[in-house]
Amino acid sequence: MPELPEVETVKRGLNEVLHIGKRKSPKITKVTRRRENIREVIPKSLEKDLVGRKILSITRRAKYLIFEFENGFLLNHLGMTGCWRVCEKGDVKNHDHFLMHLEKNKVLAYNDPRRFGLVTWCKANVESHKKIKDLGPEPLDNVFNADYLFAKTRKVKTNIKTFLMNQKTVVGVGNIYASEALFSAGVRPQRLAHKVTRAECEKVVAETKVVLENAIKAGGSTISDFKQAGGESGYFQHQFHVYGKKGEACCKCKKQIKQLVLGGRSSFYCPQCQK
DNA sequence: ACGCGGCCCTGGATGC
DNA sequence: TGCATCCAGGGCCGCG
C-alpha cells in the first residue's frame, strides 16, 4: 500500500467513514491487542489511553498516520503491508493485530501481514517524536524546491534515486514514485546525486510533485474499497510509465524499459528518455 | 559521518 | 500437485 499517496488516501477515507470532527464520530469502547509485537510492541497502555475517547483528527506526516486524541496521539506507520478497515464487530481477519472497538458495534482494525508497521502512543508534541523529528520536508510543500534539492545533493555520494527515497531528503517518496518521477524528469536513477545539474533538479522536484499529486487524485477511488477487506489499490497503477515494466516498450520512445537494483530496491528507467 | 548490505516478516507468483 | 525460490509499495541497525 503505502507511499505518500496511499497513506494520504487512507487518511482521507478514514476521516470520511468515521465522520472525524463531526458530532456523530464514534467513541472507542474497547481496545484489543491481538498480537503485541509487530515492528515494535503495541503499548498495553493504549487500553486506558483510548477507551471512552473520540478521535479528534486523523492527519498525515510523511508516511505516518497521526490519530489525535485529547490526551495524546496514536502514531501509525503502515510499513509494507499495513492497512486499516472499518468492519462489523466479530469480523476479525488473520493478521488483525490491533482493534479499536467503536460504538454501534463497529470496529477499526489494523491489519498487517508482514508486521513491518508501527502502532505506538505519543503523549504530546508528536512533531518532536523520535520517528518524526528528523524527517525532511513534505514533497508538496514549497520548501521542497529546486534550490533545496540542488544544495542538498552537492556532497552526496549515492545515486539520485536512493537519495530521493531517503526520508531525510524529502518524505513520502517510495520505490514506485522515485522511479516514476525520475522517468518524467528525464534523469537516470543511477546518476550520482552530486552530478545532477541545477536544471535537472528543477525537473526532478517538479515531476515528483506532479506524480504524487496525480497519484493522490487516482488513489481517491480507494475510499470505498478500503472499507471492505482489501484496502489494496486505487487505479494509479494504470498510470505507471516504468515501474514494473522491464522489457516493455517505453510509452514515449518505444525503447525497452530496463531494470536495475539500487540500494537493494528494483529500479526502472528508459535508456533513451533518461540521461 | 556516511553509505551500504542485511534483516525484520508473510504470502503470492514463478519455476522445477 | 507439491515444494523451493524469489520477490514485494519500508525503515532500522551495524559494519566498514
Which nucleotide shows the minimum CA-to-C1' distance to residue A131?
C11
Q: How far is the CA of A1 from the C1' of B2 (A)?
A: 30
Which nucleotide shows the minimum CA-to-C1' distance to residue A265?
C8
Give the integer Cα–Cα distance in Å for A179 and A183. 6
Which nucleotide shows the minimum CA-to-C1' distance to residue A81?
C9
Average pLDDT of the segment spanning A203-223:
84
Decide: residue A23, CB within 10 A, 0-12 exposed, 13-18 middle, 19+ buried.
Answer: exposed
Give A13-29 pLDDT, tens digit per residue. 999 999 999 999 999 99
Which nucleotide shows the minimum CA-to-C1' distance to residue A117?
C10
| Residue indicated by cell numbers 541545477 | A198
Q: Which amino acid is present at A23?
A: R
pLDDT at A233: 54
Tell me which residue of A74, A58, A78, A76 sits closest to A123, measured CA to CA: A74
pLDDT band at residue A1, thresholds of 50, 70 and 90?
low
> Does the structure show a pLDDT above 90 at A40?
yes
> Does the structure show a pLDDT above 80 at A219?
no
DSSP string, A106-162: EEEEEE-TT---EEEEE-S-GGGSTTTTT----TTSTTSSHHHHHHHHTT--SBHHH
Give A227-271 pLDDT, tens digit per residue. 444 444 578 888 899 999 999 999 999 999 999 999 999 999 999
Of A63, A85, A106, A258, the active-site residue reads: A63
Chain B footprint positions (protein CB, under 7 Å): 2-11
CB A140 within 8 A of CB A127: no
Query: A159: which strand partners?
Result: A192
Q: How far is the CA of A220 from the C1' of B15 (A)?
A: 37
Q: CB A89: neighbour CB atoms within 10 A?
A: 14
Q: Does the CB of A114 sit below 7 A from strand B?
A: yes
Q: Retrieve residue A67's grid coordinates.
A: 490519530
A106 belongs to the catalytic site: no
Give the integer Cα–Cα distance in Å for A2 and A23. 30
Q: Does the CB of A168 sit below 7 A from strand C?
A: no
A113 belongs to the catalytic site: no
A2 belongs to the catalytic site: yes
CB A16 within 8 A of CB A7: no
Q: Does the CB of A69 sit below 7 A from strand C?
A: no
Chain C footprint positions (protein CB, under 7 Å): 7-12
pLDDT at A238: 80
Q: Does the CB of A263 sit below 7 A from strand B?
A: yes
A265 belongs to the catalytic site: yes
